[in-house]
Amino acid sequence: MGDISSVALLWLGTSVLLASVVRAMTGWAFSIIAVPMLSLVFPPEQAVVLNILLALAATLKNVPAMRGQISRRIFLPLLFSGLVGTPMGYWLHTMVGDAGLRLVMGLLVLALSAAMLLIPPRHQALTLPALALAGLASGVLGGAVGIAGPPVVVLFMLTATDIGQARATLALGLLTVCLLATCAYLFGGHITPPVMLLFALALPVVLLGDTLGNRLFARYGGHTARRVSVVLTCALGLLSIARALLGP
């Protein structure tokens, strides 16, 4: 199909299916899985843009059903600080080459994995400065490498935020970041015909994975997906760093 090999198509389907299943269970893990996996086969910039489009489509499908669990007190600080951070991240994206993007993605997912393993949750209130800082960092990361969730996820883990509320609020926040990033990439000329072809091929798989993930969440909750995502992100982080250091 065009210049896309059968191996690349298989990897595309596997990557987005796995990412969408885990994202539906946790509310956040699509990008942290999809971007490193896709960047092993596709150019990192293409992987980032494709990830943004797919995450946007999947989140648009789910947010309406979660609206009853969204906390405005948590969401609004994340939103406004994310609005500031996303353009900053896009500027960084335009300044860093493929190897740099792979290295950043690898280090980022390893840091998140370490946080998930080492930081014990503690029940405490979410403060405005903490939310603003997490939102700003998420905006920067979302604009730069298409992975917006980690700062907010770590904050939610530190404060032992209710998993249903965290899942819904994070999904809405990521939807906002994805919308902003999509606009930036569109005006920057990064949403190209090859990216749209990959998007069209991957979207049905994402929707399938989303349905499966929602059913698994209803049955098992998010704790199982959290353990699985730790293992996956560790492996993908190491692969991404190795690819950055060793070259194509």
- Each domain of the chain, given as residue ranges in start order, spans 6-246
The one-digit pLDDT tens for each residue of the chain (248 residues) are: 456 788 889 999 999 998 888 877 766 677 778 887 888 888 888 888 898 899 888 777 766 766 677 777 888 888 888 888 888 888 877 777 667 766 776 777 677 777 767 776 667 777 888 888 888 887 887 777 767 677 777 777 767 566 667 767 777 777 777 788 888 888 888 899 999 999 999 999 998 998 888 787 777 765 665 666 567 667 767 776 777 777 65
Cα angle value 76/82/83 (rounded, 5°): 95
Whole-model pTM: value is: 0.67
Helix axes 223-246, 30-39, angle to 10 degrees: 30
Query: How many helices and strands (H and E) does the chain possess?
Result: 10, 0
**How far, in Å, are 70, 101, 176, 178 from residue 163 at the CA level?**
11, 31, 20, 22
Task: DSSP letter for 146, please.
Answer: S
Cα angle value 135/181/49 (rounded, 5°): 125
